[in-house]
Amino acid sequence: MAAYILRRLLLMIPTVLGIMVVSFLVVQFAPGGPVEQAIARFSGTEVSALSRVTGSAQGDFSGQSGVDTSGASAAGSGNEVQSTYRGARGLSPRFIAQLEAQYGFDRPPVERFFKMMGDYLRFDFGRSYFRDISVIDLVKEKMPVSISLGLWMTLISYGISIPLGIAKAVRDGSRFDIWTSGVVIVGYAIPGFLFAILLIVLFAGGSFWSLFPLRGLTSPGFAAMPWYQQILDYAWHMTLPIAAMALGAFATTTLLTKNSFLDEIRKQYVVTARAKGLSENRVLYGHVFRNAMLIIIAGFPGAFIGAFFGGSLLIETIFSLDGLGLLGFQSVVTRDYPVVFATLYIFSLVGLVLGLVSDLTYMWIDPRIDFETRGV
């Protein structure tokens, strides 16, 4: 077991390195880098467009960057910079050089990459280009929203889908099986963001009732509330976002659970167990459950990662929840590379670790599975 875990941990090194190399190479060819973004902010162009996307203006560039802008405007043709940066015409070469030095673009790409990876090995993720905050503090600030959405959506989805899938397998072909299949398929077909808008219209001050809040995780004055009122307030704010996210997840997990249990119920060992006089519950939960749940466990890390990091972007936007999904999108739009690469590095590590945890859970549920002897 220890040798298998060690191999998996060692394999994470080239995997993460490969992800970062490919991402870094793609970014080098992406237009509108941080230097161009800074030039646009300084010159006053595209500021309104960026503000609409990110939700807030980033402020006066020269006031927070430390770059000397006194010589930014070229006084004559002799000072005019010949630059590949869009929007840089008329700016002095000294000003452009200061921008490149500030963002590290005065160094070769290979040197920048290895410096970045060296810092990441020490979990030093630097500071955001366009926010006066370190990247790790920024991630910590957004983490509660993503943890709330990802964790509760996954737990509620699995907590309902697994019992429902088992019930459908036991009653295969019955009226219960047919109408529940119709409900989960319709739920899967409805996009989560569309259902979120419907919930807002119905229950969050739209055209009907105003029962739930429209933004944030908590209400003003949350810290001063008694603990039981804090729990109720938190649940009140999370009801609509979780309902919108979990709707589509029910179908996949429910039908996967049902099909997995049906496959196991039809096997010979189940017939033998029934012939020995074991009760149906003993057969179902003592023998079938352990084997049928393996494929469900395999999908848990992926479901959690999807909900935690990526699947919540539209929900965060619709319900004004400032989490990691929205942070990643804003960082890509504004070319805030320290945030982009740091979140990618963290997400990759978490995904690989959860994959290892999933395999170890396999072996815990079914000791017959031994990845170590297979040389995995």
- Check pLDDT > 80 for residue 99: no
Q: What pLDDT, in 10s, does the model give residues 139-164?
A: 888 888 888 888 888 888 888 888 89
pLDDT at position 64 over 70: no
User: Residue 364: pLDDT above 70?
Assistant: yes
Dist CA 312 CA 333 (whole Å) = 17
Give the per-residue pLDDT at 21.
Answer: 92
Q: Is the dihedral of CA 58, 60, 63, 65 positive or negative?
A: positive
What is the rounded average pLDDT of the residues 6-34? 86
Output the pTM of the full model.
0.71
Model pLDDT for residues 289-345, shown as the tens digit of each residue: 877 877 777 667 666 666 666 556 778 888 888 888 788 888 888 888 889 899 889
User: Which pLDDT belongs to residue 55?
Assistant: 43
Please list, in sequence order, all residues whose beta carbon lies within 8 angstroms of the beta carbon of residue 376, skipping any fewer than 6 positions away: 4, 7, 359
- Residue 193 and residue 63: Cα distance in Å, rounded? 38
Q: What pLDDT sits at residue 15?
A: 92
Q: Which CATH superfamily is domain 136-334 in?
A: MetI-like (1.10.3720.10)
pLDDT digit string (tens) for 214-267?
777 888 888 888 888 889 988 888 888 888 887 777 777 888 888 888 888 888
pLDDT at 218: 83
**Contact between residue 372 and residue 3 where contact means Cβ atoms under 8 Å apart:** yes
Enclosing H/E stretch for 354: helix 337-365
Average pLDDT over residues 14-35: 84
Sequence ranges of the domains in the chain: 35-106, 136-334
